[in-house]
Amino acid sequence: MTCNTKAATTVQRSYRGYVVRMALAAQWAAAQTIQAAVRGLLARLRLARQSVAAVRIQAATRGAAARRSLQRARSAAVRLQAAWRGAAVRAELRQHRAALALQAGWRGHAARRRLAAQRTAAVAIQAAARGAAVRQASRRQRVAAVALQAAWRGRSQRQAFLRLRSVVLLAQAATRGAAARRRLAAQHAAATLVQVATAVAMSSV
């Protein structure tokens, strides 16, 4: 082999080595670039995931805090509402008791007034009944007295009538006796005259 050939071979080998080294360097640079890009992408992905996780954690923390705050607010509102309702119920109960006491007082007053009116009416009715009984008894006494007086007067009048009738009868009997005696005397006198006339007449014959 000649020197030129050796030199060409050496140059070619050097060039090939250079080309290989350049290609390798380019590949290495590309690999590093790719690795850096991948690492950056992975880092950005991790950062994004971490950011998402942090946001989620913050959101969860804020949600938990908001829920706790809401729960505390609800509990406070419930306690406030319960206190308000209890106060309202107690106030209504006091008003109801006051109304019941007022109604009871009014009913008692009305009942006492009705009882007093009933007692007054009962006393008036009793007084009226007693007055009516007294008037009825007095009326019966007057009627009995009038009846007794009428009976006494009737008896007296009957006795006087009987006495008068006896006197009248006696007078009538005396008058009739006298008239009878007079008629008898007249008849006797007439008979005597007839007898005398008859005797005179017979003696003249």
Q: What is the reported pLDDT for 205?
A: 58
Q: What is the pTM of this model?
A: 0.32
pLDDT digits (tens, 9 = 90+) for 6-17: 777 887 888 788
* Rounded alpha-carbon distances, angstroms, from residue 108 to 93, 94, 97: 22, 20, 16
Distance CA 129, CA 151 (A): 31
Tally of helices (H runs) and strands (E runs) in the chain: 1, 0
Tell me the pLDDT tens digit for each residue of 72-130: 888 888 888 888 888 888 888 888 888 888 888 888 888 888 888 888 888 888 888 88
Q: Which pair of tokens denotes residue 129?
A: 């009944």
Q: How far apart are CA 176 and CA 168, in angstroms?
A: 12
pLDDT of res. 18: 81
**Which band of pLDDT confidence, cut at 50, 70 and 90, is reported for residue 2?**
low
Cα-only R_g, the chain: 83
* Closest residue by Cα to residue 24 from 16, 36, 12: 16
At residue 147, what is the residue type?
Answer: A
Number of CB atoms found within 10 A of residue 30's CB:
10
User: From CA 119, how far away is CA 125, in angstroms rounded?
Assistant: 10
Question: What is residue 174's predicted lDDT score, i.e. its pLDDT?
Answer: 84
How far apart, in whole angstroms, are the C-alpha atoms of residue 78 and residue 91? 19
Instruction: Please determine, for residue 164, whether its predicted confidence score (pLDDT) is greater than 70.
Output: yes
Q: pLDDT tens-digit profile of 23-35?
A: 888 888 888 888 8
Q: Write down the mean pLDDT value for the chain.
A: 84
Phi and psi torsions of 2, nearest 5°: -85, 170
pLDDT at 156: 81
**pLDDT score for 203:** 73
Nearest 10 degrees: Cα torsion 82, 86, 88, 91: -170
pLDDT above 70 (res 204): no
What CA–CA distance (Å, rounded) separates 5 from 184? 247
Angle at 154 between CA 153 and CA 160, to 5 degrees: 85
HSE (CB half, 13 Å, CA atoms) of 148? 6
